[in-house]
Structure 1
Amino acid sequence: MKTIFLSIYEYLASRYREWSPALSLYLLISIIMQVLYRVRILTMIRESYADFRSLGFMDYMSLFGRTDAVTTLLILAILLLIFMAAGPFRKTGLVLASAFTLVQCVALVLGMDFFRVYETTYQKSFWTDENNSALGEMFISILSETSLRFWVFLFILTVLLIMFYRLFVRTYDERGMAHIMNTTPSTVPARTAMMFPGAAALVLAALALFTGGDKGLKSMADRFPGMDAKKSTVALREFAMSPLYNLALERQAPETGPAADKTAGSTGPFTYRFNTDSLENSDRYDEIDLIPRGRRYNIILFFFESTAARYIDLDINGRAVTPVWRRLRENSLSAKNHYANFPLSANAMLSIMTSAYDHPSKDLIIQKHSNIGLTSLSQVLKDRGYRTCVIHPGDLRYAGQKRFLKYRKFDRIIDYNDLKDIPPYNYKVGWGLDERSMIEPSVAFMKEKREAPFFMVYIPVNPHHPYAIPGKEFNITGDIPVNADYKTKNWLNYVNSLHYADAALGALVDRLEKEGLMENTLLFLFADHGEAFYEHAKNYNHPFFLYEDNVHVPFLVYNRKLIKKAHQYRGISRHIDIMPSILDILDIRGPAEQEGISFFGPHRGQMALLHTYWKDDYMAIRDGKWKYIRRMKEGFEELYDIEKDPGEKINLAAGNADLVSTYRSHVLKAREHKLAYYNIMLKKESSPALKKRSAAKNALNKNRKAAERKEL
């Protein structure tokens, strides 16, 4: 037995001696790349965060030391395993080690670009099941954000690794690396190569044991008094993360309900429609009688994409960015304070089509539970003789939208695959075809059976990221300077894409007016969510936070025959109110489970209950002049006076403890309500056909098992 172990030891030792030069070099490349990554990240931290400009490299190292040490130890172990397993197959070992090192380097360089864009380290929570349903579109968006630095780094790294690979292959093939190194007058190179991995492992183990930790984070956070201690601790923790560690070792914490709040009390027996009457005021709103009730109006829902309310009145170079929105507003009832309950297209569809809140977890109801027993607006209208159609120039499989819509009694569901062969607008613009590709097929549907009213849903693509336009005629900003920073370029590209989307909306409305299809039609026009451009740290795109740029969106109801001049609803309205308001105008009783109210009817002033859970879990309330935001896991709270501080720059939470406590209690009650709501709704199946298929499947399984028993 001793002889066997000795033989194994001698074999492994000889392999280690032979491979130690290559092992040392590849390990050294990994360490150098991680150091370069940290230097670059520290530079970006100082550029993006005024509160952390005094952060030194040694202080930063004390934060990331443990994470990077563990990551590098794992890299060393994998490289050692590759070389030892390769044995005499030298080329195989070098190819695998080179590929593994290249993957690390690409991940780190991509991590630099990710931090540049999102001002934090990549974490697994940034990637969701929704992303998996649109990999092609995600790739387009990722490519649009990669910098020249990324491609230069990638080229240099690839060339270097190819050179090292060829050098080692030639050296091993000719005489053997160990022999080459031992022919020199000194054996120092060979000894150094053999000792370096072991010495590095000892240093890394010490760093892993004695650096980092929450205690160090909290003491470091106290050194930056310009930021709330909890918020500072969260930021420093994310700065200390490594994209390599997060990809390989990060474990996402299981979702749990919020901690019990002693001030919340019992919610009592469950009832639909969570009470959102204003806590800030007792305002009452009278019935709005602009539109006669009880007629069989045609209904159009237009989900305008990624637009915060403030952009509607934006001018660039003396020109309106959204002239069509402004024109339609002159014959509309518009809402000054309309809110997306969740800043994400999939959840906007849920709230608007069913008057339901999102699920309090990260699960998208329309993706995970497409057949949920919620009654949608399309189902209600279809049962009353309406013709129903939804049209989208992109792929409706994204986030399970197509599956969800198939259970909602739509006569026709039209998306990219149906439109891509219909000229002249069948070319890609961003994530889908030109918006104008929707016009002709939708007009044809509306004209098919004029004796029956129609319910038409438009879901355009732009100005969604990557902020595309089909031609220079939609460039309202002028040429973008070559030396403009990426934030400025992205914003200018967005403004141009917004201008294009507005023009496409105008082309549609003009065509409908020309065909006489707007005479008895109510157009409900709204943005599904907003779009942010660093108005707050890390707030880019839309789903990550609940600031005004993410959730405060434009909304109007248009019909120039019925509404002769501009009217404005000054209360707070929400996406969940759209379905009840439409049914109220049509004089149709809504389903019991709807959570919204009709803003056309008499009502108390409302609060907007807001939620997002893409990377982090936030809940918020907009009530009167107040905006309350809570980061659920850490309990960090913000309170803003929107009337005096529309940019949400001055956090008043510390000086308004009673008000914060009241809103906190309401937020926690709301989460309990959502959980109870979906405990009920998820038990329902929306489709008799689904029940029939389920019964058939159960019968088939039963027969199969019976046949198996008979064979036995």
Structure 2
Amino acid sequence: MSFAIRTFALLFFWHLCWRFVFSGVIRQSGFASDGWAFFKNGFVSDLVFVTILTGALLLIDRWSKRAGRFASYLLFGTLVLGFIFVTGYFQIFEKPAEFATVGAGLGTIAAEFFHSALKEISPEIATFAVGLLLSWALIIARHHSRRLGLHFGGAALALPVIAILVSHNLMIFPEAPTREAARWQGSEHTNPFVYALLKSYSRKKVDAPPQEAVAAAGELWRSRSVLDSAEIPATQVKRKHYNVIFYIMESTSSKYTSMVVKGKQVMPVFQNLRKQAFVTRRHYSQFPLSVNARYNALMSAYNPPNKNWLPMSEPNFPAPTVFEVFKDAGYRTAVLHTASLDNWSYRDFLKNRRIDYQADMVTLAGPGVVKTSGFSIDDRAYIAPAMKFIADSKEKPWFITFIPVMPHHPYTIPFAEYELYSPAEIEATPSRSERLLKEYLNGLHYADATLGELVRALENANQLDDTLLCIFADHGEAFYQHAGNYLHALQLYEENVAIPFIIYNRKLFAEKKVYPGISRNIDVAPTALDLAGIKAPPSFMGVSLVRAHRPNLAYFHTDWENDISGLRDGNFKYIYRATENREELYDLAADPDEKHDLITKRFDIAAKLRSEALKARQTQRDWYMKYRGR
């Protein structure tokens, strides 16, 4: 009985401490989380959870002392790691225990997640984690020696309490919520392990769109504007077999490309290239996650309407990428990436796409190549191999896709010369969100410099004037502009999906040509192919932006946590939260920061865009069924 009482008391103590520490983490992310409410609302679920675990241990101990001892070691070890995982993982993805992608091939990006999580460990989490580890040691030591157990006991009980004080002093008071007054996703009561169990085995099913919303039989929905009928005129261009580069910037929102820090442009190279380029001003990612965003651009198609993302679930999907189209036109093709092509199973996705040369951090590594994180190397490492590939192409045109890693989280650049903010300045910044943004801007400044070195290499090789340099991003990056919206995959606000896109060629565009409409990543490949005089295949869902065409609307989607779809048409932005059955509407001309929801005021606009969103969701399904040959 004493064993059961001690076990119950320690487990319950951990739970109570965890709730107070975690309430600080939640509050820091912009949610109005009351620590006392978080404790009170979860009291019953914690009590039931701990009672069940204690009862199970007691039964095992009655059956066999040895088995009881082993079970207690295993249980406490699992809970220790679970608490640390839950609290640390929230810092990255803003959820208590996100199981949205387990089973979807994420073993390939374990290094990325691990190093990102390490970056996010804060003083209160570290203190709490040490207390948990000592508590685990206490349980083991108590079985072997009462004296040894006492040595661990004080620290094991004191450190979680210290963590509470640290979390509430460093996090709650300086970071009191100023963004939203909403409760943390309405689920402050959630026990982390119950949450994990439920997320692993059940997800709310979203109803299919009503029949009247489905596109006409035999023709897929083509995402034309329903708010703007003025045709976009053609851009006068000279078509020929240009060399083509897709430069897919990482985690770059449009808003950051023009930022100035201490009188210096964050992206001076990009801003200079815009002066002689085809420039878009309202360009969108179709999915704010690299795995989907890349094939949205490479296949000119939307992502499938599920979490079985294509490179992992169907790498040999029988629709062509832009690599095959250029290859059929006589081009040599290459892809260079400074992380691993095994991430998100991209190597499998690309291996049958008739690519002449593939390189990643393994093949690009060598003497003098610096690691920028635990899962990437200096982006400049791909410039010399790319120039050799170009030289080896001789008279043949070529198509190269560059996939740099910076400024990907955790925003680490081991190159002081690219720092807009010094480490001391960052450390002195009181707000976590501001510190993260400063680190990110340093990384973006370095990423821009890398682009500049590539441009100079092309210039020195006399390749620049015959090359279309298509520069765009996979997705944006968020820093709590909306509560809980950090990184990129959780939401569809402008910071997540509004990205830059230009096509640089100083001969073709002697002066800046500004595209007046809304453009999408699915339009990049059709536009590049058109400029190169190559016909796009019928599977491509985008349009050539240099041809006369009806205005587009942009559709985007995410299902990292909740199933969310969105549209940008004219000045309006519509968001449909399918999992929650909730809608939002913003006028971006009057409210570019998306703070004033108009869903109850502009029923006319909402009704039109709702219909288009449902058609888009159905088209996601229709397209994949059609090109599977079913």
TM, length-normalised to structure 1: 0.79
Report SS of the residue matched to 1:505: helix
CA distance in structure 1 between the partners assigned to 2:3 and 2:627 by the alignment: 60
After superposition, residues 474-623 of structure 1 pair within 5 angstroms as 474-478=418-422, 479=424, 480-482=426-428, 484-623=430-569
CA distance in structure 2 between the partners assigned to 1:46 and 1:465 by the alignment: 21
Q: Which moved more, 1:557-566 or 1:308-317?
A: 557-566
The answer (yes or no) to whether the contact 2:285–2:521 under 8 Å persists in 1 is yes
Establish whether residue 68 from structure 1 lines up as the match of residue 46 from structure 2: yes
The 3 A distance-change label for structure 1 pair 439 and 300 is same
Establish whether residue 286 from structure 1 lines up as the match of residue 233 from structure 2: yes
Equivalent residue, structure 2, for 1:277: 224
- Code of the aligned partner of 2:348: R
The 3 A distance-change label for structure 1 pair 446 and 82 is farther
User: Structure 1 residue 22: deviation in Å?
Assistant: 2.4
Establish whether residue 261 from structure 1 lines up as the match of residue 236 from structure 2: no
Equivalent residue, structure 1, for 2:259: 314
User: Structure 1 residue 76: deviation in Å?
Assistant: 1.7
User: Structure 1 residue 47: deviation in Å?
Assistant: 5.6
Deviations along 1:142-198, one digit per CA (max 9) or x if unpaired, are: 11111122332232333344345334423599xxxxxxxxxxxxxxxxxxxxxxxxx
Equivalent residue, structure 1, for 2:573: 627
User: Structure 1 residue 130: deviation in Å?
Assistant: 4.7
Deviations along 1:376-418, one digit per CA (max 9) or x if unpaired, are: 1111111121011111111001111111111211011111221
Equivalent residue, structure 1, for 2:132: 157
- Code of the aligned partner of 1:314: M
**Which of these residues, 579, 585, 588, is aligned with residue 639 of structure 1?**
585
The answer (yes or no) to whether the contact 2:30–2:480 under 8 Å persists in 1 is no
The answer (yes or no) to whether the contact 1:125–1:252 under 8 Å persists in 2 is no
Deviations along 1:98-142, one digit per CA (max 9) or x if unpaired, are: 442243134224433444554442232265625322112211111
Equivalent residue, structure 2, for 1:453: 397
- Code of the aligned partner of 1:103: T
Equivalent residue, structure 2, for 1:424: 368
Deviations along 1:518-546, one digit per CA (max 9) or x if unpaired, are: 12111000111100010001110111110
Relative contact order (alpha carbons < 8 A, sep ≥ 6): 1 or 2 greater?
Answer: 2
CA distance in structure 2 between the partners assigned to 1:252 and 1:376 by the alignment: 34
The answer (yes or no) to whether the contact 1:305–1:529 under 8 Å persists in 2 is yes
CA distance in structure 1 between the partners assigned to 2:55 and 2:629 by the alignment: 48
Report SS of the residue matched to 2:427: coil
CA distance in structure 1 between the partners assigned to 2:544 and 2:374 by the alignment: 36
Equivalent residue, structure 2, for 1:39: 20
Equivalent residue, structure 2, for 1:216: none
**Which of these residues, 433, 438, 454, is aligned with residue 382 of structure 2?**
438
Establish whether residue 25 from structure 1 lines up as the match of residue 6 from structure 2: yes
**Which of these residues, 585, 608, 615, is aligned with residue 669 of structure 1?**
615
User: Structure 1 residue 429: deviation in Å?
Assistant: 3.7
**Which of these residues, 99, 106, 111, is aligned with residue 124 of structure 1?**
99
CA distance in structure 1 between the partners assigned to 2:386 and 2:35 by the alignment: 60
CA distance in structure 1 between the partners assigned to 2:411 and 2:14 by the alignment: 32
Equivalent residue, structure 1, for 2:151: none
The answer (yes or no) to whether the contact 1:305–1:462 under 8 Å persists in 2 is yes
Report SS of the residue matched to 1:83: helix
The answer (yes or no) to whether the contact 2:115–2:373 under 8 Å persists in 1 is no
The 3 A distance-change label for structure 1 pair 598 and 268 is same
The 3 A distance-change label for structure 1 pair 618 and 625 is same
The answer (yes or no) to whether the contact 1:37–1:109 under 8 Å persists in 2 is no
Equivalent residue, structure 2, for 1:403: 348
- Code of the aligned partner of 1:412: Y
User: Structure 1 residue 46: deviation in Å?
Assistant: 5.2
User: Structure 1 residue 27: deviation in Å?
Assistant: 1.8
CA distance in structure 1 between the partners assigned to 2:199 and 2:321 by the alignment: 39
The 3 A distance-change label for structure 1 pair 70 and 160 is closer
The answer (yes or no) to whether the contact 2:111–2:374 under 8 Å persists in 1 is no
- Code of the aligned partner of 2:196: L
Return structure 1 stretches of 4+ with deviation > 6 angstroms: none
User: Structure 1 residue 309: deviation in Å?
Assistant: 0.2
Q: How many residues align?
A: 598
Q: Which has the larger radius of gyration?
A: 1
The 3 A distance-change label for structure 1 pair 302 and 137 is same
Q: Which moved more, 1:109-118 or 1:646-655?
A: 109-118
The 3 A distance-change label for structure 1 pair 544 and 667 is same
- Code of the aligned partner of 1:364: W
Equivalent residue, structure 2, for 1:9: none
The 3 A distance-change label for structure 1 pair 114 and 418 is closer
Report SS of the residue matched to 2:137: helix
User: Structure 1 residue 265: deviation in Å?
Assistant: 4.5
The answer (yes or no) to whether the contact 1:462–1:501 under 8 Å persists in 2 is yes
Equivalent residue, structure 2, for 1:703: none
CA distance in structure 2 between the partners assigned to 1:408 and 1:116 by the alignment: 37
Equivalent residue, structure 1, for 2:191: 242
- Code of the aligned partner of 2:567: I
Equivalent residue, structure 1, for 2:163: none
- Code of the aligned partner of 1:156: G
The answer (yes or no) to whether the contact 1:300–1:455 under 8 Å persists in 2 is yes
The answer (yes or no) to whether the contact 2:80–2:133 under 8 Å persists in 1 is no
The 3 A distance-change label for structure 1 pair 56 and 108 is closer
Report SS of the residue matched to 2:333: strand
CA distance in structure 1 between the partners assigned to 2:202 and 2:606 by the alignment: 27
After superposition, residues 195-274 of structure 1 pair within 5 angstroms as 235-237=185-187, 239-254=188-203, 256=205, 258-261=207-210, 264-272=212-220, 274=221
Equivalent residue, structure 2, for 1:104: 79
The answer (yes or no) to whether the contact 1:339–1:553 under 8 Å persists in 2 is yes
The answer (yes or no) to whether the contact 2:223–2:616 under 8 Å persists in 1 is no
Establish whether residue 384 from structure 1 lines up as the match of residue 329 from structure 2: yes
User: Structure 1 residue 66: deviation in Å?
Assistant: 4.6
The answer (yes or no) to whether the contact 1:366–1:400 under 8 Å persists in 2 is yes
User: Structure 1 residue 280: deviation in Å?
Assistant: 1.2
The 3 A distance-change label for structure 1 pair 577 and 636 is same
Stretches of structure 1 that go unaligned for 5 or more consecutive residues are 1-19, 174-225, 685-712
The 3 A distance-change label for structure 1 pair 38 and 371 is same
User: Structure 1 residue 86: deviation in Å?
Assistant: 3.6
User: Structure 1 residue 600: deviation in Å?
Assistant: 0.4
The answer (yes or no) to whether the contact 1:333–1:569 under 8 Å persists in 2 is yes
Establish whether residue 143 from structure 1 lines up as the match of residue 118 from structure 2: yes
**Which of these residues, 651, 668, 683, is aligned with residue 597 of structure 2?**
651
Equivalent residue, structure 2, for 1:176: none
The answer (yes or no) to whether the contact 1:95–1:165 under 8 Å persists in 2 is no
CA distance in structure 2 between the partners assigned to 1:371 and 1:46 by the alignment: 44
The 3 A distance-change label for structure 1 pair 661 and 63 is farther
Report SS of the residue matched to 2:83: helix
CA distance in structure 1 between the partners assigned to 2:611 and 2:43 by the alignment: 39
CA distance in structure 2 between the partners assigned to 1:116 and 1:373 by the alignment: 38
Report SS of the residue matched to 2:196: helix
The answer (yes or no) to whether the contact 2:92–2:117 under 8 Å persists in 1 is no
The 3 A distance-change label for structure 1 pair 172 and 566 is closer
CA distance in structure 2 between the partners assigned to 1:537 and 1:128 by the alignment: 28
The answer (yes or no) to whether the contact 2:20–2:39 under 8 Å persists in 1 is no
The 3 A distance-change label for structure 1 pair 564 and 149 is same
Equivalent residue, structure 1, for 2:417: 473
**Which of these residues, 360, 372, 379, is aligned with residue 415 of structure 1?**
360
Equivalent residue, structure 1, for 2:162: none
The answer (yes or no) to whether the contact 1:128–1:614 under 8 Å persists in 2 is no
CA distance in structure 2 between the partners assigned to 1:523 and 1:395 by the alignment: 24
The answer (yes or no) to whether the contact 2:232–2:516 under 8 Å persists in 1 is no
Deviations along 1:464-507, one digit per CA (max 9) or x if unpaired, are: 11111121111112331346333222111111111111111111
